[in-house]
Amino acid sequence: MPDEMSRPLIRGRGDSRPLEASSSEPGSPVVGILGTGDFSRSLARRLLASGYQVVVGSRNPKRSAALFPEEAEVASQTEAANQADLVFVAVFPEHHSTLAELKPALAGKTLVDVSNGLQVNRDGPSNAERLADLFPESAVVKGFNTVSAWTLQAGPRDGSRQVFLCSDSRKAKSSVKQLCQRMGFVPVDMGLLSSSLEVENLPLYLFPSWRAPLACTLALFAFFYLYNFLRDVLQPLVAAKKSAFYKMPVETVNVTLPCVALVTLSLVYAPGLLAASLQLWRGTKYRRFPGWLDGWLTRRKQLGLCSFLCAALHAVYSLVLPMRKSARFKLINLAVKQAKDGTELWVDEDVWRMELYLSAGIMALGLLSLLAVTSLPSVSGAVNWREFSFVQSSLGYCALTIATVHTLLYGWNRAFDPAQYRFYLPPTFTLVLVPALAVLAGRLALAVPCAALRLQRIRRGWERSRQIRFVLPEDDGRSGEQDISSV
């Protein structure tokens, strides 16, 4: 059977081309819409494309009729309420009271409240609960408030397919679920109407899972930028009365970005190692992690994307470094000085270091790009769990390893040069290597057979505090469920 969502939407008034087979026919369910805004027009088109008859209730039907497809009937609000058994209330919540005269016509019918507030409401009541108090003889369902008008126009795509529903009437909620499925959406039951406050707040949150990762990234950027400013800008001014403030917009930022990228990438894999170590220490997986660790684990994706952003910006900044006037000036002066001194311009060690350094950086950025692309919902939904885990875990550790090698090649022998310790501060790359090497060392420690096998047994249900006979399937070829059936 062809996918219903592959059919085009109903075209606007004035299009002479014939309608698709999914257009409404006599005898199909009648759905009412109160309101004539952008959402109402998009909803009417989607409902018509799904085979419903649509009647739109307007305070001025003659003026609003031209805004809707000709297959939709535009009538007064009273006429729309009388004709339809299921009515979408698509007016702003402050105008709900203007619908009070429709109580007799809406009695016993299902009302779908699609409204949202202007700001997050934590105290209640919700718009849907107020609407239920205004129409006590109607069954109110909260839903479609997280779906945009554009999504209704273009059809559901990937993460936009879910529609959250809640109502005190099981029958009304079931009818709206059927409507959602027929329109190509995935209904998600959120329970009773008391949950509508949470549903209404969902579209108003501004990146709630990004706050801590962004704050961490900005804090790391501020720290490393100040650290590099002290070493590269302030120290020459204090020691040699030489102004180097021109480095602040580009060079100092370019030195700071890879530091932030490597540390945030280390923070992506550090919580997994801590969680595994905690399970080994406890000898069980049936105890919750601390709240801070649980929150850290759930924000690894955001930290990884922040790392990728910093690495990509570092690559762009590095490409523009030779374009600066100050860089060309230094290059000319260096060439003139070496020509006067008769020193060799070609140094094999420096050439090899730069070639390897750039090669490792390009490979690390490529792997980070793959990790970022795989984290997109449309891509992650197209791979199975093993493939996703391989990319995010195995290739992720490869990216961390190559990025660490990139940093080591950048440092080369500079860590042992006393001139690099300005203001008695070590070079920046020595600081960022600490968390990266610690994470890689922890990963190698957990890969030791004695730790890896114990962790695998724990994650399959074995507990140290109980006398349970447990053998991994690889050990005797039997199912692990047979050996832990006494748990």
Average pLDDT of span 168-196: 94
Q: Bin 414: left if φ > 0, else alpha if -120 < ψ < 50, else beta.
A: alpha
Whether the per-residue pLDDT at 477 is higher than 70: the answer is no
**Token pair for 99:** 């619908």
As a whole number of angstroms, the distance between CA 307 and CA 213 comes to 10
Residues 378 and 413 sit within 8 Å (Cβ to Cβ): no
Closest of 95, 89, 70, 91 to residue 16, by C-alpha: 70
Strands (DSSP E) along 25-84, which ranges? 30-34, 53-58, 73-76
The mean pLDDT of the chain is 87
* 380-400 confidence digits (pLDDT tens): 878 888 999 999 999 999 999
Least confident of 227-241, 296-310, 464-478: 464-478
Q: Give the torsion sign (CA, 27, 31, 33, 38).
A: negative
> For the whole model, what pTM was predicted?
0.76
Provide the pLDDT confidence category of residue 325 given band limits of 50, 70 and 90: confident
Given this model, what pLDDT does residue 193 score? 96
Q: What's the pLDDT band for 472 if we cut at 50, 70, 90?
A: low
Rg of the chain (C-alpha set): 31
- Please, which pLDDT band fits residue 221 given cuts at 50, 70 and 90? very high
Average pLDDT rounded to a whole number, residues 170-190: 94
- Around Cβ 449, how many Cβ atoms within 10 Å? 7
User: In angstroms, rounded to a whole number, what is the distance separating the alpha carbons of residues 283 and 459?
Assistant: 10
